[in-house]
Structure 1
Amino acid sequence: MRHTRTSLTRRTALMAATATAALTLAACGNDSDSGSSGHDGHSASSSSSASSSAGGHNEQDMAFAQGMIPHHQQALEMAKLAADRASSAKVKDLASRIEKAQDPEIQTMNGWLKSWGKDMSSSMPGMDHSSDSGMPGMTNGKDMGHLEKMSGTGFDTMFLTMMIDHHKGAVDMATTEKNKGEYGPATSMAGDIVKAQTAEITEMNKLLGKN
């Protein structure tokens, strides 16, 4: 009788332990599944949000790229003239730095417009960047022609004076993009333009003896 009771007790204890272990494993499995599902769901949401943030752009972003490309192109035209017309080594160095900074930005902005399905050739009026397009700081064709005929110290003075106005226009355009743009890379570039060209304006004023 005692042996029977002992066997029964052991069997009951074993069943209880087995049930407890099963419940524990099930609970762990549920926690794992829940955590995995929650993590995957969060990742998908974050990925979607990040994608939307990176790809989202508004009319201001497009206007910024469409306007800044020809603006930069004119700056490059002016900068290239300095190579064999400027007399000051500092002016030549400045012009070289302008080329190195702005040419890659043109390529980048062209890439944005392409991805947005925009055609630069018909994006806006006044695309002849050697003329007065109405954009801030743009030099008209007459002044560009005059600059092309200059050399020596006369070129240096005219180049610096025109480029200061040109840079101020770019800073105005970039500031608008910083305040109203939505596309992260564009607002970031705008911030870089404001910082770099503001510093160059100070540099050019010093070369003209204004600071």
Structure 2
Amino acid sequence: MIVALLAPLLLGACGTPAAPESPSTSGTAVAEIKAAQDYNDTDVMFLQMFVHHQRQGLQMTAAAVGRAQDPELRTLAEAVRATEQDELKMIEGWLRGWGKPTEVDTAPNLHADHGGLPGTGPAEIESLTTVADAEFDTAFLSLFLAHQHNAMELANLVKDGGRNADTMAFGERVRASRQGEIQQMLRLMSK
């Protein structure tokens, strides 16, 4: 059952996107993989917003690794956490390679004009540390389902307006992997 739970993560989009095999990237650390230099403001905005999004996800999955009551949920959280740590290193490396900041202003409506959605709020994330143990799994799943849906919506930004092939391919992998995670979480909620 755990293999079935992890298969979409491990096969679909776990870890970093596949880099073309070449002498310059083969065996290169995730953070050292560079994205092509052909990019636009949408590529940059997507990656900056996704850095913030990933950091929130890492906070939530850390809570689930420590507090989840269901062993399947704990395993899922561990796998998502590992994947998102790799993704975060990679996209921060891309932004640094372009000479762009990895931090983004997180004012709630700052990116609304560009199709950006509000992220999970600090109070919502903090609630995962105070909810009763017996209610943790449901609280986490409810919050993380919305969070991963938001990741898919963010990925649509680059699909519709990006220029960089690496960023757009990453967006495709985000949509596929988060859809798989959402399906797994819905199944866990219905147990």
Aligned match of 2:79 in 70, 73, 97?
97
SS in structure 2 at match of 1:139: coil
Match of residue 128 from structure 2: 147
Q: Is 1:193 the equivalent of 2:180?
A: no
1:54 is displaced (CA, Å) by: 3.2
Which runs of 5 or more structure 2 residues have no equivalent in the other structure? 1-34
Q: CA deviation at 1:94?
A: 1.0
Which residue of 2 is the match for residue 112 of structure 1? Answer: 94
Further displaced range: 146-155 or 179-188: 146-155
Cα 1:159/1:65, change in 2 over 3 Å: same
Find the counterpart in structure 2 of residue 174 from structure 1.
155
* 2:106 aligned with 1:126: yes
For the 8 Å contact 1:132–1:139, the answer to whether it is kept is no
Counterpart of 1:74 in structure 2 is 56
* Equivalent residue, structure 1, for 2:10: none
- Contact 2:47–2:91 at 8 Å: present in 1 too? yes
Q: How does 1:4-23 map to 2 (within 5 A)?
A: none
Q: Which runs of 4+ in 1 moved over 4 A?
A: 131-135
Distance in 2, matches of 1:194 and 1:101, equals: 14
SS at match of 1:55: coil
The 2-side partners of 1:77 and 1:205 are apart by 21
Query: What corresponds to 2:36 in structure 1?
Result: 54
Give 1:162's aligned residue. 143
Superposed displacement of residue 67, structure 1 = 0.2
Contact 1:64–1:174 under 8 Å retained in 2: yes
The count of residues paired between Structure 1 and Structure 2 equals: 153
Higher helix content, 1 or 2: 1
SS in 1 for 2:36: helix
Q: The residue matched to 1:147 in structure 2 has which SS?
A: helix
CA drift of 1:176 comes to 1.9
User: Does the 8 Å CA contact 2:156/2:171 hold for their aligned counterparts?
Assistant: yes
Structure 1 unmatched ranges of 5 or more: 1-52
Higher mean displacement: 150-159 or 191-200: 150-159
Report the AA paired with residue 106 of structure 2: G
**Could you tell me whether the CA contact under 8 Å between 1:137 and 1:167 is conserved in 2?**
no
Give distance in 1, aligned partners of 2:100 and 2:42: 14
Contact persistence 2:59–2:125 (CA under 8 A): no
